[in-house]
């Protein structure tokens, strides 16, 4: 296990109570006090901080646009990437099963731990330092936002396209589910009236697989950005 001093440097934050950091890094599989309550807290704090920043950054944006911008900022893939940027996986406390299955590099766990770190900083020092941490981690992403980009997810865009043409809604069908319960992969097909050829997508949840299938269908129809 790497020294917490290394992680503190990467976080640009020194914990007054190191036990909070230890809990924030502990998965429930380790059979110790784990991060899930801190993750719950961190998720709420993260959403508030990002919402507040977007509200003031884009004063003319509608509620719908702000909601989509926030969703694009705090989605699991983004949080996992931020966790990878500071190599957070090196510091996780995992049970033997999770360790053997590569839990230290699994996006879902990394995203959860990133949120738990936010919760831990809040418990250790309050809202101000938690806000500073979040805004530092998200600085480039917030500054690079293009307010004119369509941020609707592929399923929504595909559904709106079909509705605009008077077609039935897309039909998604699970083709296969593989892997263990904690690490499943789903393969899904997407059928629409505008194409005779179904599109397929895969992901570690049914939702992600459906989104990927919708994206592939938009590609097939020549409508993906």
Residues 87-94, mean pLDDT to the nearest whole number: 86
The catalytically annotated residue of 39, 43, 53, 212 is 43
Q: Which tokens go with 215? A: 């994206």
Told to judge if 115 belongs to the known catalytic residues of this protein, a careful annotator would answer yes
Predicted confidence at residue 49, as pLDDT, reads 98
The whole-model pTM stands at 0.70
Catalytic annotation, pick one of 39, 53, 98, 115: 115
Share of the chain above pLDDT 90, in %: 56
Beta strand 199-203 pairing with 171-178: unpaired
Q: How many helices (H) and strands (E) does the chain have?
A: 11, 3
Under CATH, to which class is 4-143 assigned? mainly alpha
pLDDT at 170 over 80: yes
Among 119, 97, 127, 135, smallest CA distance to 12 is for: 135
Residue 225 has pLDDT above 50, yes or no: no
Q: How confident is the model at residue 182, as a pLDDT?
A: 67
pLDDT band at 186 (very low <50, low <70, confident <90, very high): very high
Residue 153, C-beta contacts closer than 8 angstroms, at least 6 positions apart:
211, 214
- With contact defined as beta carbons under 8 Å apart, do 111 and 76 qualify? yes
CATH of 154-220, picked from 3.30.420.40, 3.40.50.1370, 3.30.160.20, 3.90.1150.10, is 3.30.160.20
Q: What is the per-residue pLDDT for 90? A: 87
Provide CB contacts within 8 A for 64, sequence distance 6+: none
Domain with CATH 3.30.160.20 in the chain: 154-220
Give the model's confidence band at 149: pLDDT under 50 very low, under 70 low, under 90 confident, else very high.
low
At 2 the pLDDT is 47
Query: Of the candidates 86, 139, 136, which has an alpha carbon nearest to the alpha carbon of residue 113?
Result: 86
**Positions of CATH 1.10.1520.10 in the chain:** 4-143
Verify whether residue 43 is a known catalytic residue: yes
């Amino acid at each position: 296990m790497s020294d917490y001093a290394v992680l503190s440097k990467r976080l640009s934050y020194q914990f007054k109570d190191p036990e909070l950091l230890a809990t924030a890094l502990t998965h429930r599989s380790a059979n110790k006090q784990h991060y899930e309550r801190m993750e719950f807290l961190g998720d709420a704090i993260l959403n508030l901080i990002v919402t507040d920043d977007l509200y003031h950054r884009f004063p003319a944006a509608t509620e719908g646009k702000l909601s989509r911008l926030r969703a694009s900022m705090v989605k699991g893939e983004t949080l996992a990437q931020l966790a990878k940027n500071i190599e957070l996986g090196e510091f996780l406390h995992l049970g033997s099963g999770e360790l053997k299955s590569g839990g230290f590099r699994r996006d879902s766990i990394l995203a959860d731990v990133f949120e738990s770190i936010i919760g831990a900083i809040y418990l250790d020092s309050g809202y101000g330092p938690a806000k500073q941490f979040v805004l530092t981690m998200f600085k480039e992403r917030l500054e690079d936002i293009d307010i004119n980009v369509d941020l609707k997810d592929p399923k929504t865009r595909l559904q709106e396209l079909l509705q605009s043409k008077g077609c039935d809604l897309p039909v998604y069908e699970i083709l296969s589910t593989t892997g263990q319960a904690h690490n499943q992969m789903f393969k899904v097909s997407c059928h629409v009236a505008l194409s005779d050829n179904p599109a397929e997508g895969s992901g570690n949840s049914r939702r992600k697989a459906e989104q990927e299938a919708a994206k592939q269908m938009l590609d097939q129809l020549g409508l993906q950005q």
